[in-house]
Copies of this chain bind each other. A is one copy, B any other.
Amino acid sequence: MQTSFTLSTHGQGLYEFTRDVAAWVRSGDDPRSGLLTLFIRHTSASLVIQENTDPEVRTDLSAFFQRLVPPATDATMGYLKHTLEGPDDMPAHIKAALLPVSLSIPVLDGHMRLGTWQGIYLFEHRDAPKRRDVIAHLSR
């Protein structure tokens, strides 16, 4: 059983969509146990599971990755060659390599077995507004 989620992003940062995923998993034929896989069809955005309570965690995460992989205009990034699509483009590909393209989450009785503090996020690495496709697959 598969579906897709489309998320609109407006700049770098984390966008939660845990509830959308949970609702779809619940709507299934409720297998006793199953496995949910999420897959993002892009090379400049990622999927992450992160702390879902304090928004400062997401702010700090974005800040860390901005420092780890600065824009191509940064003095330390002068070695980059793929820069035609803007200073945020190649750093976005690097972050998409460092962070997950797919997530696998066990399901029991129609519920994802996330921990109390875990939420599902799309991590956008581009500055311009984007529409992002995430495929969900639920298997027994």
Contacts and interface: CB of A to CB of B under 8 A. Distances in A.
Interface centre among A2, A90, A133, A137 (most CB of B within 10 A): A137
Nearest to A82: B56
* Chain A interface size range: 35 or more
Nearest to A91: B64
> Interface majority SS on A: helix, strand, loop or mixed?
mixed
Interface in A23-71: 33-35, 37, 39, 41-43, 48-51, 54, 56-57, 59-61, 63-64, 67-69
Contacts of A61: 93-94, 97
Interface of A: 1-2, 33-35, 37, 39, 41-43, 48-51, 54, 56-57, 59-61, 63-64, 67-69, 79-82, 90, 93-94, 96-106, 108, 113-115, 117-118, 123, 133, 135-137, 139-140
